[in-house]
Amino acid sequence: MTEESLKKGQVLSKTIETTKKGIENLEVLLLEVDKKPGRRDNELHDGLYNLCISEHKDGSGKKADLSRYGGNVRLLKVIIKELKTQLQEYEEQFEKL
């Protein structure tokens, strides 16, 4: 293994772990929302009012703030699906090293 592939492996390993943890956390959030009585994906009030993606971990910098009453559950499901696709790609790249 070359030094370059070792560095790439370290980055991929960290990315894989971060992605797995993110998927787990988002799925827990989705489950909690699903437990709320009367909640449906197409309802105006889906129970997931605050969804924000920011430039920095502390929430500072540029951000997409989706504080709204509906639609975030559907968006969350799409994000989870994409993260699972990315995770599979990262794991395949890691295995090739």
Structure tokens at 23: 């998927």
Encode pLDDT of 19-65 as tens digits.
999 999 999 988 877 666 666 555 556 666 778 889 999 989 999 98
Q: What is the pTM of this model?
A: 0.81
The answer on pLDDT for 83 being more than 60 is: yes
The domain segmentation of the chain, as residue ranges, is 3-96
pLDDT of residue 43: 57
Q: What is the DSSP string of 40-93?
A: -TTSS--S----EEESSTTS-SSEEE---SSSHHHHHHHHHHHHHHHHHHHHHH
User: Would you say 69 and 56 are in contact if contact means Cβ atoms under 8 Å apart?
Assistant: no
